Structure 1
Amino acid sequence: MEKNDKKTSNMANSSNGELKPKGSYVAVNGLNMYCEIYGEGKPLILIHGGGSTIQTSFGAVIPQLAEHRQIIAVELQAHGRTGDRNADLSFEQDADDVAMLVEKLKINKADFFGFSNGATTTLQIAIRHPHIVDRIILGSPLAKRNGVPAQFWDFMNQAKIENMPAQLKEAYKKVSPDANGLQIMHDRDVKRMVNFKDIPDEKIKSIQAPTLIIIGDKDVITPEHALEMHRMISNSQLAIIPGAHGEYIGEITTLKPNYKQTDFVVPMIEKFLDQE
């Protein structure tokens, strides 16, 4: 399996110049996990948000990030093209799945960029698997229940698939062969958030990896929470960018015409990753 996976490291181009990845499935902890690999260079692992696919979270920034690095974008349990293991989701299990994927791809150490739920998974990777982590970028991470307004939890307690953003539903149906998978993904994501428990301070403080925390000034994640995390992670930087949840990377539900946020955010990310 690994030999086939390694072949995905060279990026293909379509006839119109659009970046086309090499897609691959890797056996990971009972899952057939889907990943896409773009470009060459030091690996940067991208971990999408809840209810999302690779493209809905990162489609706007992958072309720029792949100019100087090998981008390995994953889809987690029950999301996108990755199947379901008939078990509840947890951020800890997602972290273990990504860590095994990295091992299967024979990568000793990588940088990680997680968005939203993917940022919480990235926190768990840094806590549970520090030996594979160089630098981490946390886009709108949640570590404590008080990191979002109280009404967020009211919404989660009453969440229905009818209220799921249409762009995310369409994106899932576009890539997944499982007609029933959308409801499964929705219900698993909701249950995980309803049952979310604070990550203990001592575990957050144990993170030694250089860390960049990014949120929007109109994010679901509060500035106070981002600042609290920044203070707990000793080797961290904090950036608060104008815009909503994920708008700073052009996440699909916030993407606007003539989007230019990445003109600033991607160079900032690259500068952080390239620091000695």
Structure 2
Amino acid sequence: MIINLRAQLATLMLFITLQAIAQKPTSKMQTLVTSGHAAVNGINMYYEIHGKGDMPLVLIHGGGSTIEVTFGNILPYFAGNNKVIAVELQAHGRTSDRDAPESFEQDADDVAALLKHLKIAKANIMGFSNGGTTTLQIAIRHPQLVNKIVVIAGSYKRDGFMNGFFDFMKTATFESMPQPLKDAFLKVTPNQAGLLTMFNKDKQRMIDFKDISDTDISNIKALAMFIVADKDVITIPHTMAMAKLIDGAELAVLPGIHGEALGEATTYKAGSKAPQATAIFVQEFLDK
């Protein structure tokens, strides 16, 4: 297992960032985008396809988010090197809801059904935050579909979250939801009731979050990379523990807060090269 910890990371990220600055997005203005909805498991699931490539890269957003919120600042870099399939999960963005709670297991099954609909036999899967936990469930429940996984700030046990996280979730109100997430949802689906439903279902899913067993994680055979920020919602020891459970897994601790390395909308700093640097870093893993 390769573990890139803080002492090594400063040099590594400086090198990557210098590379990133020297490179430009290969297809930010050129990549053709197709989009659509697929009827899967009782929902109408929205997806976008960017770029070209033999091994697709599936992007799974974080809780309360859309494709643009989580990946808007990093997707163009991946699209220059991959066929990227970005999805929106149950009740999020342009995807419809079902008369059932959200769950990471169901999200995994929905993504698997979408890939079947698109006639994708195998793909790389990258998920952020709640999308990272969904990525783990895809690797557990649908291993035949998975080539490699990249889990960014994902979790598999309740004790992996920062202190006080679940106490906060119990008392969280719609008013406390970050405004950029509300604006992003309403931009693509102008439905205030749908936005409130997404918030309530996301909140309840986290309140009800149940640990994934060490056995299930250790049974993942896909090549894996785990990424966490040094000031993340998910702890570094928790991410290290996941990486240790999967043979050959790689681990990177990147500077910043939750989502900053991706350029996630609520944490993005104008002009930051972090998304480009992270894309280069991840792409090297995907290309091995």
Asked if TM exceeds 0.5, the reply is yes
The aligned residue for residue 240 of structure 1 is 253
The aligned residue for residue 25 of structure 1 is 37
Deviation at 1:20, TM superposition (A): 5.8
The aligned residue for residue 127 of structure 1 is 140
Whether the 8 Å contact between 2:77 and 2:276 is mirrored in structure 1 is no
> What is the identity, as a one-letter code, of the residue corresponding to 1:77?
Q
CA–CA distance in structure 1, aligned partners of residues 145 and 113 of structure 2? 10
CA–CA distance in structure 1, aligned partners of residues 142 and 187 of structure 2? 33
* DSSP-derived class of the 1:216 partner: strand
CA–CA distance in structure 2, aligned partners of residues 263 and 220 of structure 1? 22
CA–CA distance in structure 1, aligned partners of residues 33 and 157 of structure 2? 35
* DSSP-derived class of the 1:220 partner: coil
Deviation at 1:262, TM superposition (A): 2.3
Whether the 8 Å contact between 1:133 and 1:209 is mirrored in structure 2 is yes
CA–CA distance in structure 2, aligned partners of residues 200 and 181 of structure 1? 33
Deviation at 1:177, TM superposition (A): 4.1
> What is the identity, as a one-letter code, of the residue corresponding to 2:104?
F
Deviation at 1:251, TM superposition (A): 0.4
Alignment equivalent of 2:278, drawn from 236, 251, 265: 265
* DSSP-derived class of the 1:143 partner: coil
Give the alignment's Cα RMSD to 1 decimal: 1.2
TM-score, length-scaled by structure 1 = 0.92
The aligned residue for residue 23 of structure 2 is none
How big is each residue's C-alpha offset from its partner over 1:194-244, in whole Å with a ceiling of 9 and x where there is no partner? 000100110011001000101110000000101111111112100000000
CA–CA distance in structure 1, aligned partners of residues 203 and 146 of structure 2? 28
* DSSP-derived class of the 2:230 partner: strand
Deviation at 1:86, TM superposition (A): 1.4
CA–CA distance in structure 2, aligned partners of residues 149 and 219 of structure 1? 8
* DSSP-derived class of the 1:37 partner: strand
1:178 aligns with 2:191: yes
1:216 aligns with 2:229: yes
1:166 aligns with 2:186: no
| Structure 1 alignment gaps of length 5 or more | 1-15
TM-score, length-scaled by structure 2 = 0.88
Range with greater deviation from structure 2 (256-265 or 40-49):
256-265
The aligned residue for residue 15 of structure 2 is none
Whether the 8 Å contact between 1:209 and 1:235 is mirrored in structure 2 is no
| Structure 2 alignment gaps of length 5 or more | 1-27
> What is the identity, as a one-letter code, of the residue corresponding to 1:227?
M
CA–CA distance in structure 1, aligned partners of residues 162 and 258 of structure 2? 13
